[in-house]
Amino acid sequence: MRWKGRQGSSNIEDKRGISAKGIVGGGIGTILIAVVIYFLGGDPGQFLENTQTQSSETTTNYQPTAEERELAEFTAVVLAETENVWSELFRREGLTYKYPKLVLYTNSVQSACGVSGSSTGPFYCPGDKKVYIDLSFFSELRDRFKAPGDFAMAYVIAHEVGHHVQTLLGTMNKMNSLRSKLSEKEYNKYLVRLELQADYFAGVWAHYVKRMNILEEGDLEEALNAASSVGDDRIQKRSQGYVVPDAFTHGTSEQRQRWFYKGFKSGDMNGGDTFNARDL
């Protein structure tokens, strides 16, 4: 990905070195947020166990390494490119794209959705409309999930921004309203569709990044590999040795790849209606 020398976003909050404990209440859609946090192998149970405690923050003298500084710059550039693309796509629809904030943190962080640790992976919180990333995750993406490459990391950021797009379009509120009406098994089916739509939106973003001549040879393959590596089937197989389809909340590796690629090929923000699709 040709990212060096490009303008980074100013919508970055750097909370590295500030560790949070406890939580200020559940925020909106606690169960939904816990599942959004699950993206890339996090443990939503850890999040839910803490929903009644109080919060505190501890500041340490954090000194990022040269690699971390470069990752932070990369993340800011990717965020800026999502702002450029989604602002234009929303404008075409007669809508206004409101930028999310992206929070960099280490170890743990306080959000409107509660306290989350690095083990949860990157997540988006509709309660404060922010994306949260511990940059150490990108090493985990490369080593644990076997998904190396800068565009694999860009896919992760674009997916979380996809959840922000869903919030602005009202999809997250609709999901919240379903939670009390459905069994866990039935609700999980909707969560899969929610996550696959975020993958589609990430693909839509990649479509326009390609047109801006930012992609390099092999970048698309890096993103597709990352999408495959975080499929429910592969995560369950790796973590517990067997697959439980009824417990899927994000979709299989094949589904995640397919919906990302659909968005990449079409570039149409209205073409990813996973909720009414017969075949996922």
pLDDT at 181: 92
Q: What average pLDDT does the chain have?
A: 87
Q: How many CA atoms lie within 13 A of 197 on its CB side?
A: 25
- Concatenated DSSP letters of 128-181: TTEEEE-TTHHHHHHHTS---SHHHHHHHHHHHHHHHHHHHTTHHHHHHHHTTT
- What gap in Å lies between CA 137 and CA 88, rounded to an integer? 30
- What gap in Å lies between CA 24 and CA 57, rounded to an integer? 12
The helix (H) or strand (E) run that includes residue 103 is: strand 101-105
pTM for the structure as a whole? 0.87
Q: How many CA atoms lie within 13 A of 113 on its CB side?
A: 28
The more confidently predicted of residues 242 and 114 is: 114
* Confidence tier at 161 by pLDDT (50, 70, 90): very high
The mean pLDDT of 251-274, rounded to a whole number, is: 97
pLDDT at 53: 41
Q: Are 172 and 100 in contact (CB under 8 A)?
A: no
* Confidence tier at 248 by pLDDT (50, 70, 90): confident
Burial class (CB in 10 A: 0-12, 13-18, 19+), 96: exposed
3-state helix, strand, coil in the chain (%, to 5): 50, 10, 40
- Concatenated DSSP letters of 43-62: -HHHHHHTTTSPPEEEE---
Phi, psi angles (nearest 5°) of residue 182: -125, 155
Q: Are 157 and 82 in contact (CB under 8 A)?
A: yes
Q: Which residues of 121-145 are buried (b: 16+ CB within 10 A; e: fewer)?
A: bbbbbbbbbbbbbbbebbebbeeeb
Per residue in 166-223, pLDDT (tens digit) is 999 999 999 989 988 999 999 999 999 999 999 999 999 999 999 999 999 999 999 9
pLDDT at 56: 62
* Confidence tier at 237 by pLDDT (50, 70, 90): confident
Give the residue among 34, 247, 256, 252 at the shortest CA–CA distance from 159. Answer: 256
- What gap in Å lies between CA 118 and CA 96, rounded to an integer? 32
Q: How is residue 67 written in tokens?
A: 């690699």
Q: Are 149 and 222 in contact (CB under 8 A)?
A: yes
Per residue in 106-147, pLDDT (tens digit) is 999 999 999 988 888 899 999 999 999 999 999 999 999 999
Per residue in 12-59, pLDDT (tens digit) is 999 998 877 654 333 334 434 444 444 444 444 444 444 444 456 666
